[in-house]
Structure 1
């Protein structure tokens, strides 16, 4: 094993916490997670791995760092989980600092390596155990801690008060009526077909995206509503910290809103991790076998609208476009064909990325890396070099990324590596190209 060498990075969420933690607390956290919380998968995966190295070339961090063996997926496990097991949990503060850096900033939990492991070892699961241990100790990047605390207090990621949410939606409805006659963004409507949950950023910084979604809803004549209480934000940043308790609370609030309003299903926008928490992670920690009400991703919803003829295209985008396959909805949930169908309906010149679908490279921002904030920006930029090269090779001018994290990650790669592309959501593409019936035009 090569020596683990990294540029020093200061993160008060990790560094300051370790000043107030002793080895007794560290061992207690490790023992609890690895002996009480972890499933049989831990023992199976650790004993099955034969160190064959098949996972190495699958990892964008490994490739982007000139095949540095310390970035290989198996090496990340060896330097964290295996190290804890070998030491029986008797590890130092410096060990924890190293574990946190690897788990939060050098692994996106993208599971691309699982596609290449001959035994199907889920390295993302093993790294998530490291994050859980760091969470119980408190050694989590400060920016992730802040967002998880906001979810804990407000059930949204940006400390947005309920009255601010209501005012924002009413303002956006007024703006939408400039284009769509008598447009509505219903709040707290009972017995609607769809409860739509928004991304926290769409209420504060990216309001145009929420407006475009409302535009689609109105043109497609969907019977819909949004929450008029807290619990409107589908993001769940506590997942990145493996804060199971807060993550579960946020998911429960989403379903409670749906039950209270009597809707038929929940539809969320373009986000990967939130969909994962909404239908699997959060549901499991709440003790439910499966989602108690259908929970639909934006890609599935848009695909359905096209298949039912509710959306018609007036003029397709002519510039060459390519696609980013978000890990949590393509590698995990198989929505690659749906995404490409929608793109072909709205774009004239689609250039598929290579490799694509479940073999597409992670954007290098997912799994909480972009949420780790400015101290770790270059870690994801450097780790995403292979992603930048992959996009450049397509020759496309537009990258369609149906995930907020992918969107931001590729924007940063675009700026740093001078790719000369524009990154768009499917929501924006559909709103831009769809036909607005004459009777709906303002």
Structure 2
């Protein structure tokens, strides 16, 4: 069995944060957080956990490191939160470094382990609260810290300026009109049926996804709009950093942006973590029992369009495909059947990964782990060998991946393990197959 101390990775954010810590500061922050934010729930988990280790098989890090017990979810909880609780926060700054590295980079908060726990302990929640404490102690990996700062400063994760956002939409509208002459990307249309929201990487470097969404909306005759003002970015690295205050700001801005336009509902692009923030964490932090504006994921939306006959395709996708089940919309929202309905409608042959649906392995990029940057890329790659084996066993070339972080993680795995595969968004396939006007 290895130990976290044996695999410490140098990160300037973690190092700078720990250098400013004292044991008194750690003790104060830990006890304030346990008392004010989460104590009863964590005590229930700690007191009922049997340390049986059945959660181990649920963790891709454990499985990929030849069943090394130090990667087991129960060990992660024991070596972080349970230790903080036992010692009432009286631990050394170096232990906080070790706990931060474990919580931010060796756990994707994917919650697969909860499916294996006989009493339903949510280790993902436990580790998210370890991150919360590390954030309050200012011990955060530098790359994801920078992303959270971008959210706080610009209300989007890519430092996209307000005029750049509008320019990106106008640029995609202009490009698309060569192919779809009557296409528009309506800005700030009051009372529209659909408010379409995306994550900031789309205007920054995946603008083709905005183009494709506009083409689909146009072909389906959808009454839709996009906002010109901040609030358009539905992503949320602050949630994964543990900066719940800014997580709340982001979600309030997102909801209020839609409310100002008096839209009927929000449709989110193909992103998992953003959906988690809107329906599970950001809204709860704000005290909403229900989402102030109804929100659905792109999978739900495409499923509706297909079942209403609004998406018409010329033929089915010929190559066999497999399906990646993103944690936050499958384990977190139960869209596994609708995802398959959509993919089977579009594709001739679907080869399932084993296991699949709610038991599929995480991409190892989610939970903000990919956003912790290059220092931890090898951690991700060696930490998800089991995913590479699962992908390779399908024997197919194309992977349908309805989530941005899953795309990043799986494309990295494909390259690292030389799998010769390629990821596709659902919108990539719909756009390729849909009926288009003759120009």
Query: TM-score, normalised on structure 2?
Result: 0.98
Give the equivalent residue in structure 1 for 2:66.
Answer: 66
What SS is found at the alignment partner of 1:149?
A: helix
Give the equivalent residue in structure 2 for 1:312.
Answer: 312
Q: How does 1:180-259 map to 2 (within 5 A)?
A: 180-259=180-259
Q: How does 1:254-269 map to 2 (within 5 A)?
A: 254-269=254-269
- Structure 1 CA distance for aligned equivalents of residues 322 and 308 of structure 2: 25
Q: Gaps spanning 5+ residues in structure 1: where?
A: none
- Structure 1 CA distance for aligned equivalents of residues 314 and 274 of structure 2: 32
- Structure 1 CA distance for aligned equivalents of residues 86 and 245 of structure 2: 29
Q: How does 1:6-405 map to 2 (within 5 A)?
A: 6-405=6-405
16-25 vs 239-248, which deviates more? 16-25
Give the equivalent residue in structure 1 for 2:410.
Answer: 410
Q: Displacement, 1:195?
A: 0.6
1:55-89 CA-partner distances (Å, limit 9, x unpaired): 11111000100111000000000100111122111
- Structure 1 CA distance for aligned equivalents of residues 291 and 235 of structure 2: 17
Residues 280, 290 of structure 1: 8 Å contact kept = no
Residues 5, 98 of structure 2: 8 Å contact kept = no
What SS is found at the alignment partner of 1:186?
A: coil
Q: Displacement, 1:6?
A: 3.6
What SS is found at the alignment partner of 2:399?
A: strand
Q: Displacement, 1:5?
A: 4.8
215-224 vs 34-43, which deviates more? 34-43
1:264-291 CA-partner distances (Å, limit 9, x unpaired): 0011101111101111211111111110
- Structure 1 CA distance for aligned equivalents of residues 57 and 171 of structure 2: 49
What SS is found at the alignment partner of 1:266?
A: strand
Residues 8, 101 of structure 2: 8 Å contact kept = no
Alpha carbons of structure 1 residues 233 and 64: separation in structure 2 relative to 1, 3 Å: same
Q: RMSD of aligned C-alpha atoms?
A: 1.1
Q: Displacement, 1:408?
A: 0.6
- Structure 1 CA distance for aligned equivalents of residues 262 and 297 of structure 2: 19
Number of residue pairs matched by the alignment: 439
Query: TM-score, normalised on structure 1?
Result: 0.98
